[in-house]
Structure 1
Amino acid sequence: MLIFTTFFANFPTKASAVELGLEAEAAILIDAKSGKILYELNADQTLPPASMSKMMTEYLLLEAIHQKKVSWDQEVSISDYVYKISQNRSLSNVPLRKDIKYTVKELYESMAIYSANGSTIALAETIAGSETNFVKMMNDKAKELGMKDFKFVNSTGLNNKDLLGMHPKGTGETEENMMSARATATLAYHLINDYPEVLETASIPVKKFTKGIDGEGITMLNWNAMLPDIPGYLQQFAYQGVDGLKTGSTELAGYCFTGTAVRNGMRLISVVMRTKSQYARFEETKKLFDYGFSNFVEKELFPEGYQLKKQSTLKVTKGKEHEVEIAAKEPLTTVIKVNEEELYEPKLILDEKALSKDGTLVAPVKKGQKVGYLTYEYKGENNFGYLFDDGGLHETVDVVTQAKVEKANWFVLSMRAIGGFFVDIWSSVASGIKGLF
């Protein structure tokens, strides 16, 4: 009666990459809700992420804000190290002053919008006391988030040689942060899902930084040229639905970009690494977004109340009724390739802990009691899997009982036991007689 189906049927197999003509050394495209990978190219190759590293600084800052270890209006004094870095206008910076203090929010905005390196180091010092301590936090958090193929040596993503001999202790003078496209996408996935407010700042196309040198303001034009409201000549790269996330470039990294866009309720995250120019990274990202939004759709595979034909009920022991119906508590929705609904088969995974040894429920049973979950098995091709080893577990809905079953009284249970006793005797006698002939 009890059919226990294994979840391993849902585990993905790698597929050959769809040809998009990408001019990037590595790339990946994922569904931001589930972490499902829609496209990948050299996704595990470790490359310098440049200022895309600042997504980890953003993550740790937002985490500290939520934990009330740091506040937005907290004032920050500028150290000698931060001051010297911030004066280098060949790098992305707002020149900071030592004679005034800046709020955490001001520094954060200059980092998220303008990729200001001095501001980033100032935030690292505020959170951890020193950039050296902060780098340890970055690497520890990366492991906690399930990132693989990464190494952080500073908070900014610059090459250490640009830090004027003041790079974090224990790191090499010419070292640079390293991440794979998959690791970068993993970081972006957690940043957007854990702290979605990051997009409120990342999507600001232009803003004035008022505390410049001698009180002069600095216009911060967002380096993300794909923002729909980006002004001037950059409008040629604007893309509907883009609201983040982080650009990066160094001599070693080339030009890279982690982008995110939402259309019709479906949010995608893309990463392109080592493209040929400042604007090529947006052109290559456009190819990924065009592919994703044209070929994939968020679809309800199985509605609320869905029942498998061969397993719509479970037997109940010691109950007034002998069985109870079970069904999906919520609809199961996922991102699928257009017109591929027929390639998704339902899979019921029953919870052994909720059942007796013989695979039945034991009365009393509550209405809405969880007995397992519903997932799916994909029968198509080009299945790249998920960012995480247990990714498929995030695309499930609970399966619950549809009615309550009260426990039968002692008399009914006794009669059933007696009836079962005589049935067993009769079966034994019948089998013995049958064996004579």
Structure 2
Amino acid sequence: MKKRNGYRISAVLLSVLLFVGLFSPIQMKASAAFDVNAAAAVLVDAETGQVLYEKNSDQQLGVASMSKMMTEYLLLEAVKEGKVSLDDTYQVSDYVYTISQDRSLSNVPLRADETYKIQELYEAMTIYSANAATIAIAEKISGSEAEFVKLMNKKAKEFGLEKAKFVNATGLNNKDLKGNHSTGTQTDENMMSGRDVVTLAYRLVNDYPEVLETAGIPKKKFREGTDDEISMENWNWMLPSLVFAYEGMTGLKTGTTDFAGYCFTGTAERNGQKLIAVVMNATNESGEGTYNARFTEMKKLMDYGFTQFERQEIVAAGSAIKGAETLPVQKGKEKEVKLKAASDLSIFAPKGSNPKYKTGVTLNSSDLNENGELVAPVEKDKVVGFVSVKDDQGQAVPFLKSAGKTNVQTAQNIEKANWFVLSMRAVGDGISGGWNWIVDKVTGWF
């Protein structure tokens, strides 16, 4: 009986030890590091668009001044297309003047009927989140903010931002526009999901990386040396020399309204690894939204990305993709064409996890006939699809929809077979065995 009781006591002690081991302070601390105090949060690799972390990323939320990333994109696009120059000037409208005088909003005061260079308005918007300067840029590009908002929503659809809704160029609540709102109701705000915000940021920094040259400026004087000189300190306090300085921080855009809470899209680079992270309606441990909270939670996300992942090369440029080395070709001198990866593909995997990723090819159905074949002639380096990746559990590795994909190309030219070869094949298709061998042998001569 005593022996049996001893076994029971040992079993209970073992259970307790296991429980303590599973929920030790070390384990709980590690788990807590993956939690972000925000209504939504997303972390992605800035080069591949691989999603490394997401929390409530599909819910539509207030976005506040992070909306200005779309205004930045459309301005830089207009500059690239030659429609606008940063050296162009803008004459202040009554609407822009009225907004600029409200210092309760983020603004640089602008003089009525004065002209300003687009370059200085762009800097005021990107560094200081100046709202009137943003509306001025919208008017310069589209003639009015209302027309510019149409452009914003059109571009959002092009990017596949399914939850995005823009009602103004700035991200302010429409009620703050002094009765000048042209779309939506007076209380409307711009709305986006966390995944939409990070996708917009991904497109911005990849299509126009020069935006970080301006977004990364900690401090600058607006109209330095004039009576209108104003000191602009970047609202991104994680930039070097500012109060929450974070190693490698390069941008990008903060946003705050009573409705949206404290939001931040951050970009950072360390040791060649680039990250983009978003926190929306960030709070502190007590559940209170503060300026400091968004930077504390951003630091958590960035630290997680930089310390918990390691790069693994999945496919090398020019190599074959296992399991999809060739693609059948109809009416070609050869019956199939070799495939290759157009560029390197790397995945960020949790350190020490040693997962075994499986690659495949997602083909462009528009390039194939009803039998899933290419039709000769086929040119070398023709893009026929992209590399898809799944983990050892068969789950697809998550990427942003608009992320750059590793294309799959043809590795050789395939000429169209002549009529004799095609005729011989037609005969051979109806006969099996030795005749097929003869057909293949003869057609090989042609």
TM more than 0.5: yes
CA deviation map 1:276-300 (0-9, x unaligned): 1111101101111111112223432
Quote the residue 1:187 is aligned against: 200
1:371-382 equivalences in 2 (<5 Å): 373-380=386-393
Gap change, CA 1:73 and 1:358, over 3 Å in 2: closer
Quote the residue 1:205 is aligned against: 218
- Asked if 1:27 corresponds to 2:41, the answer is yes
Report sequence identity in percent.
53
Quote the residue 2:234 is aligned against: 222
Gap change, CA 1:124 and 1:329, over 3 Å in 2: closer
Q: Give secondary structure in 2 for the equivalent of 1:34.
A: coil
State how many pairs are aligned.
400
1:42-81 equivalences in 2 (<5 Å): 42-81=56-95
- Asked if 1:91 corresponds to 2:97, the answer is no
Distance 1:370 1:181 in 2: 32
Alignment gaps of 5+ in structure 2: 1-30, 283-288, 437-446
Distance 1:406 1:132 in 2: 54
The range that moved more, 295-304 or 256-265, is 295-304
- Asked if 1:107 corresponds to 2:114, the answer is no
Q: Cα RMSD over matched residues?
A: 3.6
Q: Give secondary structure in 2 for the equivalent of 1:279.
A: helix
Alpha-carbon offset, residue 164 of structure 1 = 2.0
- Asked if 1:289 corresponds to 2:302, the answer is yes
Distance 1:416 1:161 in 2: 73
Q: 2:189 aligns with which of 162, 176, 181?
A: 176
Distance 1:257 1:361 in 2: 47
Distance 1:27 1:374 in 2: 27
Q: Which has the higher contact order (CA 8 A, sep 6+)?
A: 1
Alpha-carbon offset, residue 40 of structure 1 = 1.3
The range that moved more, 408-417 or 156-165, is 408-417
1:108-123 equivalences in 2 (<5 Å): 108-123=122-137
- Asked if 1:126 corresponds to 2:140, the answer is yes
Gap change, CA 1:301 and 1:93, over 3 Å in 2: same
Q: Give secondary structure in 2 for the equivalent of 1:151.
A: coil
Alignment gaps of 5+ in structure 1: 1-16, 428-437
Contact 1:303 1:331 in 2 (8 A): yes
Alpha-carbon offset, residue 169 of structure 1 = 2.4
Q: Give secondary structure in 2 for the equivalent of 1:215.
A: coil
- Asked if 1:258 corresponds to 2:265, the answer is yes
Gap change, CA 1:173 and 1:336, over 3 Å in 2: same
Quote the residue 2:22 is aligned against: none
CA deviation map 1:259-279 (0-9, x unaligned): 111223332211111121111
Quote the residue 1:12 is aligned against: none
The one-letter code of the counterpart of 1:272 is V
Contact 1:25 1:42 in 2 (8 A): yes
Distance 2:131 2:92 in 1: 13
Contact 1:347 1:376 in 2 (8 A): yes
Distance 1:88 1:289 in 2: 35
Contact 1:266 1:298 in 2 (8 A): no
